[in-house]
Amino acid sequence: MRVTVFGSKQYERALLEDAARAAGHVLSHQSQHLNADTAALAARSRAVSAFVNDSLNAETLEILAKCGVKMVALRCAGFNQVDAAAAERLGIIVARVPAYSPHAVAEHTLTLALALSRKLCRAYNRIREGNFSLEGMLGTGLYGKTVGIVGTGRIGAVAASLFKGLGCKVVGYDVVPSPECLRLGMTYLALPDLLRTADIISLHCPLTPETKHLLGRREIALMKPGAMLLNTSRGGVLDAGAVIDGLKSGRIGNLGLDVYEEEADMFFEDLSGQVIQDDVFARLLTFPNVIITGHQGFFTEEALADIVRTTMANISEFEGTGKCANAIPIARKAAA
């Protein structure tokens, strides 16, 4: 099948090409994001492949449908960028990669926690300048601390087990408790109680209408003074303006972000020669107790190989049967 791959990056092209050749698919790579302005580039393809920050709203999907596109193969787990109802109406199947190494994102979460608690980025910069002073470098141990996991699905459960391995106590909040986390000894709490209890709060729930700004001003005010906040899920789960106020007041003692609500125009691009136009993001960068990574939690060799393999399998399944077991749910416009 001919497939137009949007947002195609050098780091994935060789892998995608090898997998496509083996499966008998022909790829057309487009470096642009998929949106209403670029969708027409899919002409002559029956399928397109899209990524996290592509915009699959009704307008984009209508153009894809006019081009004859019948399938969207997402190279990611989340699908908050898709208008699922519009896709259903237009007869376009949208498939995703539901699970590709939850360990990659969970390990990245732990990396952020350790780097923040031991001031690793400051140490790296200091030593390179020949400054070996320990002033301002006093760390905080993780052993014995309480970690609150918000969203105890695949990634949240792995994160919980990693923190547990460090000797942390784990508490959780989820609409559906996980048997795996219960086996780990996790105590489930209402969100306000988790926020009051946890020394470290780590977000692992999908972005849905219910979780948009799940942590805003009111919730941040409930946090323990100086608590660490980690978000490797989706930027929109946090209200960034409220987070800045929380950092200024000291309520948030450390912040680790791999995602940002308005990341779509920045992340995955080299903008090092440009002025950042997003003032909220620019303000976040000024805090000494904040580490931001550019949505790289998933980005390991192992996870990338899984993503490519599942994406091609999804396309082949659709070509062979007209269906796909990894199609996103059509009943709700949800996000995972």
Q: Which is nearer to ligand NAI, 27 or 292 (CB)?
A: 292
Q: Binding to ligand NAI by residue 298, rule CB under 6 A?
A: yes
Cα separation of 181 and 186, whole Å?
Answer: 5
Q: Which is nearer to ligand NAI, 86 or 307 (CB)?
A: 307
Residue nearest to ligand NAI (CB): 153
Helix, strand, coil tally for the chain in percent (to 5) = 40, 15, 45
The minimum distance between CB 31 and ligand NAI, in angstroms, equals: 20
Q: Which is nearer to ligand NAI, 8 or 178 (CB)?
A: 178
Nearest to 75 by CA among 333, 298, 281, 252: 298
Q: Which of 83, 199, 239, 258 binds ligand NAI (CB under 6 A)?
A: 258
* 96 included as an active-site residue: no
Q: Binding to ligand NAI by residue 172, rule CB under 6 A?
A: no
Long-range contacts made by residues 323-332, C-beta under 8 angstroms, separation at least 24?
323/93, 324/71, 324/93, 324/95, 326/95, 326/96, 326/97, 326/98, 327/93, 327/94, 327/95, 328/74, 328/79, 328/82, 328/84, 328/94, 328/95, 328/96, 329/84, 330/84, 330/85, 330/87, 330/88, 332/84
Q: Binding to ligand NAI by residue 295, rule CB under 6 A?
A: yes
Catalytic residue among 12, 88, 261, 263: 263
Q: Which is nearer to ligand NAI, 69 or 335 (CB)?
A: 335
Q: Binding to ligand NAI by residue 251, rule CB under 6 A?
A: no
**Which residues, in sequence order, are bridge partners of residue 47?**
3, 71
The residues in 65-94 that bind ligand NAI, with binding defined as CB under 6 A, are 77-78
Specify the stretch interacting with ligand NAI by CB under 6 A; choose among 115-123, 125-133, 276-284, 290-298: 290-298
Q: Binding to ligand NAI by residue 206, rule CB under 6 A?
A: yes
Q: Which is nearer to ligand NAI, 4 or 152 (CB)?
A: 152
Q: Which of 134, 138, 176, 331 binds ligand NAI (CB under 6 A)?
A: 176
Q: Which of 33, 234, 251, 333 binds ligand NAI (CB under 6 A)?
A: 234
Q: Binding to ligand NAI by residue 256, rule CB under 6 A?
A: no
For residue 185, report the phi and psi dihedrals to the nearest 5 degrees. 95, 15
Catalytic residue among 96, 154, 234, 251: 234
Cα separation of 132 and 129, whole Å?
Answer: 9
Q: Which is nearer to ligand NAI, 87 or 150 (CB)?
A: 150
Specify the stretch interacting with ligand NAI by CB under 6 A; choose among 64-72, 82-90, 150-158, 240-248: 150-158
DSSP assignment of 41-80 equals: GGTT-SEEEE-TT--B-HHHHHHHHHTT--EEEESSS--T
CB 278 within 8 A of CB 261: no
Residue 245 parent element (H or E)? helix 240-249
User: What residues are annotated to the active site?
Assistant: 234, 263
Binding site for ligand NAI (CB under 6 A): 77-78, 102, 105, 150-156, 173-176, 204-208, 210-211, 232-234, 258-259, 295, 297-298, 336
